[in-house]
Amino acid sequence: MSRRRDRQVFGSRSLGSQAHHRVHRLNHRNQARDEGGQALVELVVVLPLVALLLGVAFNGWSGMQLAVRLTSAARAGAIQAANELGSATPPPTPTVLNDATKAINAEENAVGVYQNSNSAANDYVSMTQSQTTSSGVTMNVVTITISQRSGSLVPFVGTFPVTVHATARYS
Q: What is the pLDDT of residue 50?
A: 92
Asked if residue 134 has pLDDT above 90, the reply is no
Residue with more model confidence, 120 or 103 = 103
CA distance 94 to 92: 6
pLDDT at 26 over 80: no
pLDDT value, residue 101: 96
Give me the helices (H) in the chain, please. Answer: 17-85, 93-107
Residues 5, 7, 9, 10: is their CA dihedral positive or negative? positive
Domain residue limits, the chain: 15-170
Measured distance CA(26)–CA(21) in Å, rounded: 9
63-84 pLDDT, tens digit each: 899 999 999 999 999 999 999 9
Length of the chain: 171
* pLDDT at position 158: 77
Dihedral sign for Cα 63, 94, 110, 84, please.
Answer: negative
Contacts of residue 3, defined as CB under 8 A and 6 or more positions apart, other chains included, come to none
Q: Which of 159, 70, 62 has the alpha carbon at shortest distance from 113?
A: 70
Q: How far is CA 143 from CA 27, 37, 71, in A?
A: 75, 61, 12
